[in-house]
Each structure stands twice: as C-alpha cells, then as structure tokens.
C-alpha cells in the first residue's frame, strides 16, 4: 500500500507529492521533486523505528535547497572541471554552477526537477525527460529511477536512454545518521569501504587523475573505522575538504555485478547499513558543508557533520582524466545501474 499526500507546491505552482511505503518492517517516503528519499525508517536494536536520513518537510525547501538531501543527482554527479566534457572528439561546455566547475548536474540538476511518478510493485518509479541542451548536455535523456522496498532493504534502479551520445552518471545523495537524524553527530559511527585505492583531489575537490593506495593513510577504511577517528587529521586531502570528501575505487568492480561497496553501523542504535552497487566508485562525504542552515524535518537544524553520504558513482571529473571509467551513454544504449541500501541490526 502506498500513501500519497500533498508535499506542497513548486515555485511555479505545480503540485508535489509525498509517497510513503510501509511494509511492516521499514518505511520509506519519497517525493517527485528530485525523485528524492525524504525519510527512511528502520528498526534499531530495541525494534524502535528510527528515521536515518536527512530531509525536509515540503517541496519548496528542496527546490530552494543546495544540499541535495536524498535526491537523485544527474545528468552527471559530482564535479566536472571547467564544466567541459568530451564526446567523440568534440568538447561541450556545460553550465558552471560552482565557480568554474559544474557540480551535480548544474544549476537545475535532476534534484530540482519535477518527476512523473508511477506506483509499481513494492515501490515507486519516477520518470524525467531531460531535453537536448539542458545545462549544456547534448541529446535528450529519458531517465527512470525506481525505488523498491523489500523488508529493510531499499533498492534503487536507474535506467536511461538517449537519442544521441551523451553523459549519464546518476547517483542518490542520501545523508545517513544511523542513530536517527537529530540525534547528534556521526563521529562515533563506523564506516567500512571496500576499496584499496582512492582518487586524490586538488583544493577545489576535483580529482587530479592520481589514484593512490589507502595503505598507511587516514583514507584506509578497509576495516571498520569511526568517522571521528581521522576526520580532523592534517592529511592534505582531509584538510582540503574539512573532513572526508573523496572518491574511493570499489574493489572487485566489473561493470555488471552488484557488489558491496561499503558498510556502516552505530553501536549506539545497533543499526547497520550495507551499500551495494555496480558503479565503479563511492564518495564518502562527512557532511562538511552542512552548516546549520536549511530547515530539516520538523524544523530541525541540519548541523555540520550530522550525517554522512556514501554516494555510489562514476569517478568525479572523469572527462579530464582518461584513466577513469568514462560515464558516456551511447545513442540507443541502456544505462542500467543499481544502488542498494540494506539495513540490519548488529
Ligand atoms: C558531494 C560532494 C561534496 C558536496 C556535496 C553536496 O558529496 O562530493 O563536495 O558538494 O555533494 O553538498
């Protein structure tokens, strides 16, 4: 059963909805603005449901916001240096919404679009058609994002097709706090990333092309580590971002298989999260730009380091770095990627 409620209106007066699915074990609320996850309630060790993702109470806050809370990010997630991409030997200038660079699809990325919604078995399918030239991207892109809730697992399936060669690199930008949002910061929560390497950034958070081993660095999350352990380290990458904000190279990526990229847990709530994907990279972002501004659910402040993201993705700035997998979708090909958030108890 899906409960459909009003979620307010966009600036231009279009109605927005909140879709809530509850299967007796977990509950997810989704909205068609940004095809976003608004809330995700899972049981803690005492069987109490805890909302483990940041979100807001109405559509306008998503439209005016700049934190991508729970949103679908596209056409290209993360940063592109100077907003320039290359396709078939031709360069294209995209919109530049973060200084000279493009971040998360431009000024009005997929996170700000009003998607069509359709109820499917155990879930909702959102559809958006991005016209040729939107934010500078060539060709039309038809995108489907399906959220499916089974038990305490939320699966997100991405499908896209284009009428010409283009870029497609979608992600979900959920911010997690495994103690439940509003219950302090995430510094004592543990994260494990199944990656032996990470991509290094310049001071503008743009990958330089260098891929380094995590060995003997604070970027080593091969065994579970508390986020607070190295977050204030003077390691250059961490200083640049004022916390964690890099891309890790997922071990055993083969382009097809859906594999575990990361795990996280809180000893306090007992809630565990496993992130699976068939994408090549994962961004650990420790909420460094959360600044208390923006109004969260029930008027709560969204404080610094009050949640973390594990964004499954193509490596950022791939067009400037030929050694990275290229997020190119050829005309007629089907983009078919999955991100899974699987919850449990320690
Ligand atoms: C991603 C980026 C961060 C930041 C957030 C959005 O996680 O890596 O640098 O831009 O999105 O605030």
pLDDT of residue 298: 86
Instruction: Measure CA of the first residue to CA of the last residue in the chain; give whole Å.
Output: 29
pLDDT of residue 217: 98
pLDDT of residue 295: 83
Rg (CA), the chain: 19
Q: Is 276 in the pocket of ligand 1 (CB under 6 A)?
A: no
Ligand 1 atom closest to Cα of residue 245: 8
pLDDT of residue 209: 98
How many angstroms separate the alpha carbon of residue 285 from the centre of ligand 1? 7
Alpha-carbon distance values, 130 to 25, 144, 188 (Å): 35, 11, 40
- Catalytic: 311? yes
Q: Is 44 in the pocket of ligand 1 (CB under 6 A)?
A: no
Q: Determine contact, residues 336/159, Cβ cutoff 8 Å.
A: yes
Q: Both tokens of residue 333? A: 């090909």
SS3 83: helix
CA-nearest residue for atom 12, ligand 1, is 67
Helices in the chain by DSSP H: which ranges? 59-64, 236-241
CA distance 156 to 170: 11
Residues in the chain: 346
Q: 139, 138, 146, 203: which is closest to 170 by C-alpha?
A: 146
How many angstroms separate the alpha carbon of residue 25 from the centre of ligand 1? 31
Ligand 1 atom closest to Cα of residue 73: 11
DSSP bridge pairs for 29: 20, 39
Candidate of 36, 99, 104 to mutate for ligand 1, largest count of ligand atoms within 8 Å of Cβ: 104
pLDDT of residue 97: 98
Q: Is 194 in the pocket of ligand 1 (CB under 6 A)?
A: no
Query: Which member of 203, 210, 311, 333 is catalytic?
Result: 311
Mean per-residue pLDDT pooled into runs of 10, the chain (346 residues): 96 97 98 98 98 97 96 98 97 98 98 98 98 98 98 98 98 98 96 98 98 98 98 98 98 97 98 98 97 85 96 98 98 98 98
| DSSP assignment string, 24-90 | SS-EEEEETBTTEEEEEEEE-TTS-EEE-B---SSHHHHHH-SS-TT-EE-SB-SEEGGGEEEETTE
Candidate of 62, 98, 110, 245 to mutate for ligand 1, largest count of ligand atoms within 8 Å of Cβ: 245
Q: Is 146 in the pocket of ligand 1 (CB under 6 A)?
A: no
pLDDT of residue 229: 98
pLDDT of residue 293: 79
| DSSP assignment string, 216-253 | TSTT--SS-EETTTTTT---HHHHHHTS-EEEEEETT-
Candidate of 68, 74, 112, 169 to mutate for ligand 1, largest count of ligand atoms within 8 Å of Cβ: 68
CA distance 200 to 212: 7
Q: Is 68 in the pocket of ligand 1 (CB under 6 A)?
A: yes
pLDDT of residue 238: 98
Q: What is the DSSP letter of 21?
A: E
Alpha-carbon distance values, 91 to 137, 176, 292, 298 (Å): 11, 37, 39, 45
Q: Is 67 in the pocket of ligand 1 (CB under 6 A)?
A: yes
């Amino acid at each position: 059963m899906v409960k459909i409620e009003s979620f307010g209106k966009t600036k231009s007066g279009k109605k927005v909805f909140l879709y809530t699915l509850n299967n007796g074990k977990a509950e997810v609320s989704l909205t068609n603005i940004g095809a976003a996850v608004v809330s995700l309630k899972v049981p803690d060790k005492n069987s109490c449901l805890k909302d483990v993702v940041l979100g807001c109470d109405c559509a306008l806050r998503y439209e005016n916001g700049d934190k991508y809370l729970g949103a679908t990010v596209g056409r290209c997630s993360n940063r592109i240096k100077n907003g320039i991409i290359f396709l078939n030997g031709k360069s294209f200038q995209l919109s530049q919404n973060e200084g000279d660079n493009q971040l998360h699809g431009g000024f009005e990325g997929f996170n700000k679009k009003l998607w069509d919604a359709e109820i499917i078995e155990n879930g909702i399918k959102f559809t958006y058609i991005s016209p040729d030239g939107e934010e500078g991207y060539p060709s039309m892109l038809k995108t489907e994002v399906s959220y499916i809730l089974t038990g305490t697992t939320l699966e997100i399936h991405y499908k896209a097709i284009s009428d010409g060669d283009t870029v497609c690199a979608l992600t979900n930008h959920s911010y997690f706090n495994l103690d439940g949002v509003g219950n302090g910061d995430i510094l004592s929560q543990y994260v494990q990333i199944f990656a032996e390497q990470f991509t290094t950034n310049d001071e503008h958070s743009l990958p330089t092309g260098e891929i380094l081993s995590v060995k003997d660095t604070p970027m080593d999350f091969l065994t579970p580590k508390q986020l607070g352990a190295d977050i204030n380290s003077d390691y250059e990458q961490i200083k640049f971002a004022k916390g964690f904000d890099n891309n890790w190279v997922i071990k055993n990526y083969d382009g097809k298989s859906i594999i575990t990229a990361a795990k996280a847990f809180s000893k306090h709530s007992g809630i565990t999260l496993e992130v699976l994907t068939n994408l090549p990279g994962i961004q650990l972002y420790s909420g460094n730009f959360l600044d208390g501004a923006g109004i969260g659910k029930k008027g709560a402040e969204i404080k610094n380091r009050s949640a973390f993201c594990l964004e499954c993705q193509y490596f950022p700035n791939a067009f400037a770095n030929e050694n990275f997998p290229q997020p190119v979708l050829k005309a007629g090909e089907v983009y078919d990627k999955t991100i899974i958030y699987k919850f449990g108890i320690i």
